[in-house]
A = this chain, B = another copy of it.
Amino acid sequence: MIRLVLVEDEALVRLGLRQLLAFDARIDVVADAANGLEGLALIELERPDVVLMDVRLPGLSGVEVLKAMRAKGLATPVILITTFDEEAAFLQAMHAGANAFLRKDISLEDLRAAIDAALAGERVFRPAITQVAQRRLFEMKASFPAAVLPDPLTPREIEVLRLMAAGLSNKEIAESLHAGEATVKTHASSILSKIGVRDRTRAVLKGLELGYI
């Protein structure tokens, strides 16, 4: 019996995944969690054979849970799932040692194959991953992994990004943060260059994708 822990915040998706997994008699979903912190605790408690986890979660993200697991010496295979193609999260997940990275619109076969491969210690990223991400993967293997990983935003930058997403202008953000507009512009420029976009519209979208917002 394959003992699996499921971490997924959206109840319907969680139900859907349980249902999907129920089709495979070898798999036993021993526990599920709706957020990262709870998930991490459950994983430590249950010591499952494999973890199926959403990338975007309230509190700790899937990638953060994965990092925490690895930091604690837990080598449990982890399969990350995501709603959209999240290239940056994908790269971070790769780096953090995820065993698979799948989109939510996968078939049962893909999921089963990913679980089998993960149990065997393989790392699969084929099903439903963007070609862009695949190409980046090669680049990553060929160069320094850290070089292609997105520069993490500082706490202040994340605040600014979130206020950007709320539709505030730099001046309004400055007022909101009790800082000068020049400061906000500095942060804004830094955010844009870090996440590799050239305007705030894309920054917000990308921030959404990266889980910052």
| Contact partners of A105 in chain B: CB under 8 A | 10-12
A2, chain B: closest CB distance, angstroms: 20
Using a CB-CB cutoff of 8 Å, which residues 5-21 of chain A contact chain B? 10-20
Q: How many copies does the complex hold?
A: 2
Chain A positions 172 through 190: 1 when the CB is less than 8 Å from some CB of chain B, otherwise 0:
0000000000000000000
A130, chain B: closest CB distance, angstroms: 15
The A interface, classified by DSSP as helix, strand, loop or mixed, is helix
- Chain A interface size, as a band, is 20 to 34
Chain B residue with Cβ nearest A8: B12
**Is the Cβ of B104 less than 8 Å from the Cβ of A205?**
no
Residue A204 contacts which of B15, B16, B19, B201 (CB distance < 8 angstroms)? B201
Which A residues have a C-beta under 8 Å from some C-beta of B?
A: 10-20, 104-105, 164-165, 167, 169, 197-202, 204-205
What are 27 A-to-B residue pairs whose CB atoms are below 8 Å? A10-B13, A10-B104, A10-B105, A11-B16, A11-B104, A12-B13, A12-B17, A12-B20, A12-B104, A13-B13, A14-B16, A15-B15, A15-B19, A15-B20, A16-B16, A16-B19, A164-B201, A165-B205, A167-B197, A167-B199, A167-B201, A167-B202, A167-B205, A169-B199, A200-B201, A201-B204, A204-B204
